[in-house]
Amino acid sequence: MAYIMAVVNENHKKYTQSVKFLKRFYFCAKLLDDYQGAEIALNKIGMAYHNAGDFQKSLTFHYKH
């Protein structure tokens, strides 16, 4: 559900809301030992920060990815 809400917010160009849901998705993926889901979340968080214009945070999450 968190992933879907993140995508919906991203489509409406609400990147800060999208990041909030993506971080929730990342937490759930880590909790369930879903490494692929965690990697997807980190990549999408990096892209959301990039689209929002915060390039430093974008790089931080892409390095974690």
Per domain, the residue ranges of the chain are 2-64
Predicted confidence at residue 21, as pLDDT, reads: 93
**Segment 34-48, tens digit of pLDDT:** 999 999 999 999 999
Q: What is the DSSP letter of 34?
A: -
The amino acid that residue 52 corresponds to is A
Separation CA 28–CA 54 (nearest Å): 24
What is the pLDDT at residue 3? 86
Regarding the domain delimited by 2-64, which CATH topology (the fold level of the hierarchy) does it fall under? 1.25.40
| Residue 31: CB atoms within 10 Å | 9
At 62 the pLDDT is 85
Residues in the chain where the model's pLDDT stays below 70: none
pLDDT number for residue 24: 93
Supply angle C-alpha 24, 51, 47, rounded to 5.
50
